Structure 1
Amino acid sequence: MLLLAFLAIFPLCLIWAAASDLMTMTIPNRLSLLLAVGAVLANVAAGSGFVDIGFDVAAGLLVFLLCFCLFASGVMGGGDAKLLSACALWYGLNGSLLAFLLYVSLMGGVLTVLIVMLRSSQHVLLAAGIPIPGLLLTAKKIPYAIAIAAGAFLAFPASPLYRMALAQFGL
Structure 2
Amino acid sequence: MLEAATLLIFPLCMSVAAISDLLTMTIPNRISLILLGTFAVLAPLLGLPLTEIGMHLGAAAVVFCCCFMMFAINVMGGGDAKLLAVSALWFGLDPSLLAFLVYVSLLGGVLTVVVLLLRSQSDAITAIGLPLPNSLLGAEKIPYGVAIAIGGFLAFPASPLIIIATQRVF
TM-score greater than 0.5 by the shorter chain: yes
Matched-pair contact (CA < 8 Å) for 1:57–1:92: yes
Instruction: Determine the structure 2 residue equivalent to 1:163.
Output: 163
The worse-fitting range, judged by mean Cα deviation, of 2-11 and 73-82 is 2-11
The DSSP-based 3-state class of the residue aligned with 1:90 is helix
Offset, 1:42: 2.4
Once residues 135 and 104 of structure 1 are traced to their aligned partners in structure 2, the CA distance between those partners, rounded to angstroms, is 19
Amino acid corresponding to residue 86 of structure 2 in structure 1: A
2-side partners of 1:70 and 1:134: how far apart? 24
Matching of residue 13 in structure 1 with residue 13 in structure 2? yes
- RMSD over aligned Cα, in angstroms? 1.2
Q: CA deviation at 1:95?
A: 4.7
For structure 1, the 5+ residue unaligned runs are: none
What is residue 106 of structure 1 aligned with on the other side? 106
Give the match for residue 122 of structure 1.
Answer: 122
CA distance in 1, matches of 2:7, 2:47: 14
Secondary structure at 2:12 match in 1:
helix
Alignment partner of 1:28 is 2:28: yes
- Higher RCO, 1 or 2 (CA under 8 Å, sep at least 6)? 2
Matches within 5 A, 1:1-171: 1-170=1-170
In structure 2, C-alpha distance between the alignment counterparts of 1:95 and 1:57, rounded to whole Å: 15
**Whole-Å Cα distance in 2 between the matches of residues 60 and 2 of structure 1?**
22
Within 2, Cα distance between the matches of 1:7 and 1:54?
22
**For 2:41, what is the secondary structure of its paired residue?**
helix
Separation in 2, partners of 1:149, 1:42: 20
Q: Distance in 1 between matches of 2:3 and 2:53?
A: 15
Q: Is the 8 A contact 2:3 2:169 kept in 1?
A: no
What is the DSSP-based 3-state SS (H/G/I as helix, E as strand, rest coil) of the residue aligned with 1:48? coil
Report the alpha carbon displacement of residue 146 of structure 1 after superposing the two structures with TM.
0.2
- Unpaired runs of 5+ residues, structure 2, are none
What is the TM-score with the length of structure 2 in the denominator? 0.95
Deviation per CA, 1:88-139, whole angstroms, max 9, x where unpaired?
0110013511111001001101111110111111222222221011232111
